[in-house]
Amino acid sequence: MATRLNERVVYINGEIMPESRGTVSFRDRSFKFGDGAFDTTRTFGHRIFKAREHIDRFYRSLRYLDMDAGVGPVELLRITEDVLARNLPLLGPDEDYWVTQRVSRGSEIPGGDVYQATGPTLIVECTPLPFKARAAYFRDGIDVMIPSIRRAAPDSMTPRAKTHNYLNLILADQEVRRQNPKAWAILLDHNGNLSEGIGSNIFVIENGVVYTPQDLYVLCGISRETVLEEAAKIGVTVVRKDIDLYDAYNADEAFITSTSFCICPVRGFNGKKVREAGIPGPVTRRLIDSYVSLVNYDFVGQYLKHLD
């Protein structure tokens, strides 16, 4: 099988290969059961961001799942940097990557029982960030919709581990996108408070104070952590607390964080606009500015460049 010209490479179980050859068995437990975990950071201007923090969180997910990566965090960081270095030449100047580690528990052992597995499938890969598909969010703000489906309760599956079981979040997305293809679902937790969306955290702002759901009910995003740190730097108070629809409907501003978005303003909840007309609002803008300074890259401008 010939390698395609300018094709990205992927690391799978010790081997680096063109992505088109990057396959796993249909018997891999992550294909059959979603029995895997991942973590993902991004580059800013082709420089990787907080790779170590992401890898640390990755190993916490693995401990929760009782899953072995086969390599330690130092080696995984080295592999990550290697895969990124090989793929960077394929990036255009305004493009950047998601840089992702994945581990699956492996395939079932023939003749063995459900519980037994051959051992891990470890993958490191780069994916171009979807600037074009998401640029309008930065211009218009995100329309957040709250689906009827609830985020799984932590006593059945913690949201704090970043696993390959995403159907709960995918069903939420489908529910809202059938009404509005550009809507972004933020699910309520099992108590009825805002929790999170697919790969993303929510923040609301009222009277200059920023609020975000408690750690117990969300994947504690590295971007979320970064916002908490930047807010502290610039004197903005952030409070983790239970947030309900009353808070959402009375928000002055709101924004979503994720590895790809960093910070992206929200236009409204369930079709009600936030009070501040500007996108972004003033507090969100200060946090974006601080974030841009930290990463030394204008990620908002990067998105807006990809507008049609």
Residue list 130-159, contact with a copy of itself (CB under 8 A): 130, 132-134, 145-158
| Beta carbon of residue 293, minimum distance to a copy of itself (angstroms, whole number) | 26
286 binds a copy of itself (CB under 8 A): no
127 vs 87: CA distance, rounded Å: 9
Is 66 in a helix, a strand, or coil?
coil
SS (H, E, C) 139-151: HHCEEEECCCCEC
Site for a copy of itself in 217-246 (CB under 8 A): 241-242, 244-246
92 binds a copy of itself (CB under 8 A): no
- In angstroms, the Cα distances linking 209 to 240, 241, 244, 254 are 11, 12, 16, 11
Choose, by CB under 8 A, the member of 3, 75, 78, 171 that binds a copy of itself.
171
* Contacts (CB under 8 A) with a copy of itself, residues 253-282: 270-272
List the one residue from 16, 45, 46, 64 that touches a copy of itself (CB under 8 A). Answer: 64
Among 112, 119, 208, 282, binds a copy of itself (CB under 8 A): 112
Under the binding rule (CB under 8 A), the answer on residue 114 touching a copy of itself is yes
27 three-state secondary structure? coil
Q: How many CB atoms lie within 10 A of CB 85?
A: 10
Sheet harboring 9-12: ordered strands across?
A: 15-18, 9-12, 121-128, 97-104, 36-44, 47-48
Q: Determine which residue in the list 16, 77, 128, 252 makes contact with a copy of itself, applying CB under 8 A.
A: 128
Residue 279, token pair as written in the block: 């996108």
Instruction: Check whether the bond before 159 is cis (ω within 30° of 0).
Output: no
Name which of 192 and 282 has its Cβ closer to a copy of itself. Answer: 192
How many CB atoms lie under 10 A from the CB of residue 64?
A: 15
Minimum distance, C-beta of residue 281 to a copy of itself, in the bound complex (Å) = 16
Stretch that binds a copy of itself, among 31-39, 47-55, 68-76, 277-285 (CB under 8 A): 31-39
Residue among 4, 72, 174, 234 that touches a copy of itself (CB under 8 A) = 174
